[in-house]
């Protein structure tokens, strides 16, 4: 592989990673919107939504892990790639300059930090789902008490 192809592959993997995060955020937004629009409490629905979300989050985090490790592998290949042989001294200096400017900026985040952030967002999302469900239960109980006839 050429150096240019390795750089292109690195950024392709970066784009894939960005898509996984985009899907993740859209799913959380849709899930919280759906949950906030529900009127009546329903524990079975809340449990089903929680199980489906946790399954999705697990697979999404796994995909993010895989792409992150792929980025590290490509980055290692980029750094180990020999400097290309150019036809002129100017081309060699230009490639060395680009390499010197570009490679220090290629710093993918450490996976443990990414995983911890993902898990923290997952916990907060599930907590928000169940807080909304608890609020619906409280409102339903309050409405039952208010609806009881006074004897």
- The pLDDT value given to residue 88: 58
Residues of the domain holding 66: 3-147
Spatial contact of 75 and 110, defined as CB atoms under 8 Å apart? no
Q: Which one is predicted more confidently, 94 or 18?
A: 18
pTM assigned to the model: 0.81
Residue 85 banded pLDDT, cuts 50, 70, 90: low
What per-residue confidence (pLDDT) applies to 53? 97
Q: How buried is 65 (Cβ within 10 angstroms: 0-12 exposed, 13-18 middle, 19+ buried)? A: middle
- Per-residue pLDDT at 38 exceeds 60: yes
The tokens describing 140, both together, are: 């339903």
If you average pLDDT over residues 117-124, what whole number do you get?
A: 98
CA-only gyration radius of the chain, Å: 25
3-class SS of residue 150: coil
Which pair of tokens denotes residue 44?
């079975």
The tokens for 133 are 């469900």
Residue 16, pLDDT > 80, answer: yes
The secondary structure element, H or E, covering residue 57 is helix 43-80
User: Is residue 31 scored above 90 in pLDDT?
Assistant: yes
Query: How many distinct structural domains can be found in the chain?
Result: 1
Q: Which of 55, 79, 60 is nearest to 18 (CA)?
A: 60
The tokens for 23 are 């899907």
């Amino acid at each position: 592989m050429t150096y240019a192809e390795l750089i292109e592959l690195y950024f392709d993997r970066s784009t894939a990673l960005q898509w996984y995060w985009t899907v993740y955020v859209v799913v959380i937004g849709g899930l919280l919107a759906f949950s906030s629009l529900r009127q009546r409490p329903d524990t079975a629905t809340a449990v089903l939504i929680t199980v489906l979300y946790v399954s999705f989050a697990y697979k999404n985090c796994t995909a993010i892990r895989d792409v992150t490790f792929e980025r590290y592998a490509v980055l290692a290949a980029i750094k180990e790639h020999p400097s290309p042989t150019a036809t002129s001294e100017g081309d060699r200096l230009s490639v060395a300059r680009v390499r010197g400017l570009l490679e220090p900026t290629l710093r993918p985040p450490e996976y443990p930090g990414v995983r911890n952030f993902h898990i923290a967002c997952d916990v907060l999302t599930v907590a928000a789902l169940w807080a909304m469900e608890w609020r619906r239960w409280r409102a339903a109980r309050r409405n039952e008490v208010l609806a009881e006839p006074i004897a």
